[in-house]
């Protein structure tokens, strides 16, 4: 058995690729392709690194479910004791369906509607992470109309560069998220004077796919400076929320391990005298990203004067990250044959867009009808999937040891058409 580097639950056995104790080619044969397969052991191992790092502290780990919102994935984290970070009313209903405790749910996002606020208040969520001063006023109005008091934490934009892709950077002045560091104290004073709100914490989230410790330490210092100023103004804060954003290894990336990162952050927190506070964190990608693979069949090999194309049955509607961010995903065959000579291909899908590519300039030794695995597909793939070109969403399978469970059936054309109507 030879594990894949960076993917401990993936391994070669007799030149076949396995996920935990399941041969991936058998999953493709049983359920078809494209197919997402997730390792439960990988998700729990990633979570355990955070749990080790925060052992002995007052802390709540809230899975940022936008990374992967499939019900069974949510259920795995709920049963492991996680809370949840949500950004919509739909996500709230998903975590409730998965058995989450609403008191361990925090509601982030810049555009919460009144209906979403009412529903969250009705079920008793733990906290609203408020992202603008006008949102404070609307939430106060909604809470008072419902006869409730909304627990709030203000998301502060610390103007810290996370050194990540601009589309997933969230902590700079030019980003839409949070309240500017310079306005934060004013916003807290305003919130403390609103009868429908109860100020309970402070929140910060600076981006996604962060691979360096320095931005976290910079953001922590700026947030703690604010905590000191806010409490000096007579507004106590019960918790400090440092968000998520820790990256994974897509292509030789070297993010710190979660427990090592938190050892450094907690040392800084202790040095500044805030080590006894209740901490909230919101990891997403780092819990699920490398737990998932997308299996796809090679349809055609198309040679060209400038490029060779490997056309597969997965597409940008299944794996949107390359089209959106020019993101890298490793691509490997499910069966390896050392006797074959690899060729260089762009791996592309059937969607009618030039941006429909999964990987460019990849060395592969494959033939039509064979299967590939797109690696690191557990985060921001299925949760961002679409029906573009009227393609059905893929099926999903959860692997636990030698057992594989279908957790989402393949979407049919009837599923897509069910809510549509012809005009008279």
Beta carbons within 8 Å of 71's beta carbon, 6+ residues apart: 94, 97, 98, 407
Residue 239 — φ and ψ, nearest 5°? Answer: -135, 160
**What is the Cα–Cα distance from 269 to 277, expressed in whole angstroms?**
9
At residue 121's C-alpha, the angle toward residues 70 and 51, to 5°, is 50
Residue tagged 């002995």 (tokens):
56
Q: Measure CA of the first residue to CA of the last residue in the chain; give whole Å.
A: 62
Give which of 190, 210, 209, 211 is closest to 199, Cα–Cα.
Answer: 190
Q: Which entry of 62, 82, 294, 352 is annotated as an active-site residue?
A: 352
**What is the Cα–Cα distance from 377 to 294, expressed in whole angstroms?**
6
The binding site for pyridoxal 5'-phosphate comprises: 245, 282-285, 380
Give which of 187, 197, 194 is closest to 230, Cα–Cα.
Answer: 187
Instruction: Tell whether the torsion through CA atoms of 248, 253, 259 and 265 is positive or negative.
Output: negative
**What is the Cα–Cα distance from 109 to 197, expressed in whole angstroms?**
17
**What is the Cβ-side half-sphere exposure of residue 385, based on CA atoms within 13 angstroms?**
27
352 counts as catalytic: yes
Which tokens hold the place of 115?
């209906």
Q: Which helix (H) or strand (E) holds 266?
A: helix 258-271
Neighbours of 103 (CB within 10 A): 12
Report DSSP letters for 75-140, one per residue: HHHHHTT-EEEE-SHHHHHHHHHTT--GGGEEE--S---HHHHHHHHHHT-SEEEE-SHHHHHHHH
The binding site for substrate comprises: 285, 321, 325, 353, 380
Q: Which helix (H) or strand (E) holds 359?
A: strand 357-364
Which residues belong to the active site? 352
């Amino acid at each position: 058995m030879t594990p894949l580097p960076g993917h401990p639950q993936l391994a070669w056995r007799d030149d076949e690729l396995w996920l935990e104790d399941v041969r991936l080619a058998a999953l493709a044969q049983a359920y078809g392709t494209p197919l997402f397969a997730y390792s439960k052991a990988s998700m729990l191992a990633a979570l355990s690194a955070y749990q080790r790092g925060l052992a002995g502290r007052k802390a709540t780990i809230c899975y940022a479910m936008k990374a992967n919102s499939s019900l069974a994935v949510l259920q795995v984290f709920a049963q492991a004791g996680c809370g949840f970070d949500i950004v919509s009313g739909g996500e709230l209903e998903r975590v409730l369906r998965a058995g989450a405790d609403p008191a361990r749910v925090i509601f982030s996002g810049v555009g919460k509607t009144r209906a979403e606020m009412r529903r969250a208040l009705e079920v008793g969520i733990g906290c609203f992470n408020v992202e603008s001063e006008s949102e404070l006023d609307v939430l106060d109005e909604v809470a008072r109309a419902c006869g409730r008091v909304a627990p709030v934490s203000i998301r502060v934009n610390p103007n810290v560069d996370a050194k990540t892709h601009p589309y997933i950077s969230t902590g700079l002045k030019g980003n839409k998220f949070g309240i500017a560091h310079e306005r934060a104290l004013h916003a807290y004073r305003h919130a403390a004077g609103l009868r429908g709100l109860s100020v309970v914490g402070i929140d910060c989230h600076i981006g996604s796919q962060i691979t360096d410790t320095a931005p976290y330490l910079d953001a922590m210092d700026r947030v703690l400076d604010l905590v000191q100023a806010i409490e000096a103004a007579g507004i106590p804060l019960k918790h400090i929320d440092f968000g998520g954003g820790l990256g994974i290894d897509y292509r030789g990336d070297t993010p710190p391990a979660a427990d090592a990162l938190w050892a450094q952050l907690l040392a800084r927190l202790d040095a500044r005298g805030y080590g006894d506070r209740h901490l909230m964190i919101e990891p997403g990608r780092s819990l699920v990203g490398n737990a998932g693979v997308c299996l796809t069949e090679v349809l055609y090999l198309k040679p060209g004067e400038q490029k060779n194309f490997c056309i597969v049955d997965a597409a940008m509607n299944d794996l949107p990250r390359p089209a959106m961010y020019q993101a890298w995903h490793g691509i490997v065959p499910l069966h390896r044959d050392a006797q074959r000579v690899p060729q260089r291909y762009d791996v592309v899908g059937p969607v009618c867009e030039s941006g429909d590519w999964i990987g460019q300039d990849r060395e592969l030794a494959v033939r039509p009808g064979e299967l590939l695995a797109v690696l690191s597909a557990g985060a921001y793939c299925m949760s961002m999937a679409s029906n573009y070109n009227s393609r059905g969403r893929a099926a999903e399978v959860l692997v636990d040891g030698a057992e594989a469970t279908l957790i989402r059936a393949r979407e049919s054309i009837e599923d897509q058409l069910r809510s549509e109507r012809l005009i008279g």
